[in-house]
Amino acid sequence: MTTYYTETHQWIRKEGDSYIAGITDYAQNELGPIVFVSLPSVGQTFKAQDEAAVVESMKTAGKVYMPVAGKVETINARLNAEPFLVNADAEGEGWFFTVSPDDPSDVEKLMTKEQYDALTR
């Protein structure tokens, strides 16, 4: 189960038949305590790097970009009532949505964990 990353601090990985996505642990740490998440609608389509969601923290608001072109299949509705899940487990329970990529090979063109770690040092 390989996770891939974007320069705008999103992650995506294949789990079963789905691609699950969210913001990185680095991003949630930079934002601080998250108090609100605005998620996309199921069925909405995006190009890679389109704004797909918004997070608001006690410090600022941040945009969440679609890591690859595709259609939103499901959303993590728990974030509506529990936005703090993003801070607690950004790359696990704090996921944002699943996406059906237009071209699944685009996922593998994103950064590896090692490349992302080098970017955020």
Full DSSP string of 99-115: EEESSGGGGGGSB-HHH
Classified by CATH at the fold level, domain 3-102 comes out as: OB fold (Dihydrolipoamide Acetyltransferase, E2P) (2.40.50)
Count of positions (residues) in the chain: 121
Residue boundaries of the structural domains of the chain: 3-102
Instruction: Note the helical H segments in 1-121.
Output: 25-31, 78-81, 85-88, 113-119
Predicted confidence band of residue 1 (pLDDT cuts 50, 70, 90): confident
Average pLDDT (93-109) is: 96
Average pLDDT (80-96) is: 97
Query: From CA 59, how far away is CA 34, in angstroms rounded?
Result: 9
